Amino acid sequence: MRSIIVGNWKMNPTQKEVRPLAEGVAKGLSDQATFHDVVICPPFVFLSAVGEVCHGGTLQLGAQNVCSEPNGAYTGEISTEMLVDAGCEYVIIGHSERRQLMGESNSDVNLKMAACFKYGLCPIVCVGETLSERQDKKTLNVIRKQLQSLSGLKECSSNCIVAYEPIWAIGTGTVATPDQAQEVHHFIRSEWGSITGSHAVKEMRIIYGGSVKPGNIDEIMEMRDIDGVLVGGASLDVSDFLRIIHYKEKVNG
């Protein structure tokens, strides 16, 4: 399966930093062949600037959020159609920062997924447990409930990505061990299979996010059920992000 590396710039960088950052990544991609998808998700206001850098190259464009409504009186919102027009192929949905800080619910996430499928955007849907849930050994139950509440998953084809992002690992420098991540990824794959009743789940990509850095990418990508990564902080540094993109390929592919 083709793996995917996604850079989530969050509410960074500044206007003058955008082009050097995107161009540095694009140049690093053309210098060395990559055999996986590489996506940058900048803030909305920088989509067109990054889109110009991506144009015609191997770098792809994604957004960090989307509105489930198609158009109309929704001040401050951006629709799926607008994202597609801006050149986006992916959008992150239900990131824990949006769930925790902006009150985004599973029902919002489901509506957003449906809007993505309608316009051919690939949603990157985030799930993950808190530190206390992990300490109480509730991780797999929490993940099962999150997946079951995503009725949108039933309708999805292979054009959907699930990102496992343990909340305790996001922006903290504490990364899940490869074994911890593999356990949850394997679980997500089998749960996703039972939810969709589809064998196609083998082709669906499940990516890991939470303090991915140049120093841990190789061991993370060694894991059988990890098909890529969602990178926050380290995607804001050209050389760190390029090192992550050019991770050491799995020996058995």
Q: What is the dihedral of CA 34, 85, 229, 202, to 10 degrees?
A: -90
At 8, phi and psi to the nearest 5? Answer: -105, 105
Q: Which of 7, 28, 62, 232 binds ligand PGA (CB under 6 A)?
A: 232
Q: Provide the minimum distance between the beta carbon of 81 and ligand PGA in the complex, in angstroms, as a whole number.
A: 25
Residue 125 interacts with ligand PGA (CB under 6 A): yes or no: no
Q: Which of 69, 233, 237, 238 binds ligand PGA (CB under 6 A)?
A: 233
Residue 230 interacts with ligand PGA (CB under 6 A): yes or no: yes
Q: Which C-beta is closer to ligand PGA: that of 201 or that of 220?
A: 220
Burial annotation 166-201 (CB, 10 A radius, 16+ → b, else e):
bbbbbeeeebbebebbbbbbebbbebbeebbebeeb
Residue 170 interacts with ligand PGA (CB under 6 A): yes or no: yes
H or E segment to which residue 244 belongs: helix 238-245
Q: What is the dihedral of CA 190, 193, 197, 201, to 10 degrees?
A: -150
Q: Which of 210, 221, 242, 244 binds ligand PGA (CB under 6 A)?
A: 210
Helices (H) and strands (E) in the chain, counts: 11, 8
**Among the options 97, 133, 165, 191, which is catalytic?**
165
Q: Which of 59, 209, 240, 247 binds ligand PGA (CB under 6 A)?
A: 209
Options 15-23, 110-118, 189-197, 232-240: segment touching ligand PGA (CB under 6 A): 232-240
**Among the options 36, 95, 185, 246, which is catalytic?**
95
- Residue numbers at the binding site for ligand PGA (CB under 6 A): 8, 165, 170-171, 209-212, 230-234
